[in-house]
Structure 1
């Protein structure tokens, strides 16, 4: 098909309009470049920018930690003897005061009976000596007996009363020892395995406990933080804009999953471990489902302070120079790109936390950074603003129609 046949045909209106638009764009673009004296690679680049305001940026740290029982107690015998019975199931929840073991009580029951008999004898002797002393008192006044005899009788009465007090204490001790033959639970919690069976001989001063009870709800988590980092934190709290944060703590378990309930920091020790150079911070966590067990290694994440004068700069806007310094491009005077060095030591989500180098009035370039150079003239637009395609103007329509007729 030749050119004449094509010209003779009438093109559809949409195709004709598209053809005229392409011709006008080609002709107009070339004329503008020639008039401005710029080549295709010398166009003014369009960049997207954001203007940031100071915001609250928590200073979040993630540290190694380990779980510990809220309460832990060894079940130990207070008296010596042979275990006759065990009243609990291993691994069960026991209540404070609940009987756990029974030690053979026969020896201690006999001791109680002996102490009671000694008390009765002491009371009888005290009564006899008291009566004798009272009888000697009027006789000593009329010198029917010597005063020395009365003094001896009075002293014997007082010694008998002291003997009564001693035997009462011995009886009380015997009764306490008899009570100790039943070994109770010192705290409420989960009891472990029994280290001694029925028939085993136990003593009051033995090294091994009968069993161990641990309270698992709530739980303690001991967090280890470097003493140098803690010192830096305390120094930063003296600067303007840095304030202490709430003591909320979140845990990451050994399998990488997040532990649901949040905990709170209870205290920080004032002693540095000489072997590790760390300080222990203790947090308390609810553990209603018993998911946390003593001795687990976890990761604790919490905010130790809040910087109220930080800037959250999108990560794509921050780059590093050969020296490792963080830099950003900003739209300077006369719409020229300028590079600024900032202090960005950590991230928060998808943004760098910038704590130095910005004053809040800069227009930070986040889009169009490829091949951007300092001092280059740019066309700034709000970042991520949509590009609108406008219909041809009447003048452009006339040019397209004239070119269509000329062609």
Structure 2
């Protein structure tokens, strides 16, 4: 009994010492691992581009609609019944081409009557001129009075005036007769016509016989806000952008494709529409194949000018503060992240046009912006843009799809094991 009482304190002390030693051994490695990992973690890799100044076109995209270059609503200038329609609806007609033939019997009769009046006037004038020549000789020998000779000369002059009036009536009758054939005043595409043979038409009637539209070239009427127009003029006055005399316009069609011919800005309206607050711009496009038709909706990309010494920065590299200030993250000479305020002047494709805040050679962070913070040590590598039609999120999602497809293979193993067991039992 005495020996057990003497050994109990000794065993308790040994157990306590052993537990303290075990706790100390297990605690030291856990505390040392995070410190070692922090020391061995490499700097975050980021993709950067090097800022290089260049002349960048300032492009604005505005909506617009096409309208014909020339429009002619053909109306008759003579009264009568339509005898023939001399063109096919919707066909291309040339200037001066006959379109309709109106009954001209009345106008031909008027022309014949006017020609007869001319013959009468000529005969009367001829008679008076012969008589005047005879009186001229007689008045020299006082065979007739001077008054009679003067009266005869007056009658000759009156006869000449009557002849001139008769000849003018002939020309007028010829013009009216010409109106019986309705001709196209311009070259262009004809529209649908509701007048056929037998229709009665009147001069200058309200409804046109047919409408002719010239489609090559063709206009595109574009609406630009007055605020945008003021900003552009201020930039031009300050010299921020350079503008050539012929402003180029590119056209995006309703299906998203681009029209393969560039147009020129023809003019800008001199007044602002008070209802919409916009100014109408008109561009002219060549339209040889008549691909553009009047009334089509289109987006016009107007090259307002060229910005010298600007930078193109991918949109993924630019963020904005709550106040709207654009910022970009850069890698400085020490390899640390630096935040820089920049000024933008619109976009060109997937890039921002940066006019202030950058200098030549700046390393702009494009890839990895979400993983870093200011003053963080990073490793810069050249930025590789994703392939066309693929976004970074799609590129990351592709490996996940492959990984998800792999677990389907082990599903065959239970069936294989079951088959082996059946074969063994059968044997």
The TM-score, its normalising length taken from structure 1, stands at 0.79
Between the aligned partners of 1:198 and 1:367, the Cα distance in structure 2 is 74
Provide Cα deviations, 1:78-103, integer angstroms capped at 9, x if missing partner.
Answer: 21111111111211222222211111
Contact 2:339 2:374 in 1 (8 A): yes
Counterparts of residues 7-406 of structure 1 (less than 5 Å):
39=38, 44-244=43-243, 247-332=247-332, 334-376=334-376, 378-384=377-383
Q: Is the 8 A contact 2:221 2:283 kept in 1?
A: yes
Quick one: structure 1 residues 134 and 248, their matched pair in 2 at CA, closer, same or farther if it must change by over 3 Å? Answer: same
By percentage of residues, which structure has more helix? Answer: 2
| Number of matched pairs | 353
Question: Is the contact between residue 248 and residue 263 of structure 2 (CA under 8 Å) also seen in structure 1?
Answer: yes
Give a deviation string over 1:154-213, Cα, whole Å, max 9, x none: 100111111111101111111111121111121222211223222222121211111111
Structure 2 stretches of 5 or more lacking a match? 1-31, 385-427
C-alpha contact 1:221 1:285 (8 A) present in aligned 2 = yes
- Deviations 1:268-305 (Å, cap 9, x if unpaired)? 23233333322222222232332221111221112111
Give the match's secondary structure for 1:144: coil
Larger mean CA deviation between 205-214 and 312-321 belongs to: 312-321
Asked if 1 retains the 8 angstrom alpha-carbon contact of 2:68 and 2:213, the reply is: yes
Is the 1:366–1:383 Cα contact (8 Å) retained in structure 2?
no
Cα distance in 1 between the residues matched to 2:118 and 2:370: 101
Q: Tell me how far apart the structure 2 counterparts of residues 67 and 242 of structure 1 sit (CA, whole Å).
A: 29
C-alpha distance in 1, partners of 2:74/2:253?
A: 31
In the TM superposition, what whole-angstrom CA distance separates every residue of 1:69-125 from its partner, at most 9, and x where no partner exists? 122212221211111111112112222222111111111111111111111110111
What residue in structure 1 maps to residue 13 of structure 2? none
Once the two structures are superposed, residues 3-30 of structure 1 have per-residue CA deviations (whole angstroms, 9 ceiling, x without a partner) of xxxxxxxxxxxxxxxxxxxxxxxxxxx8
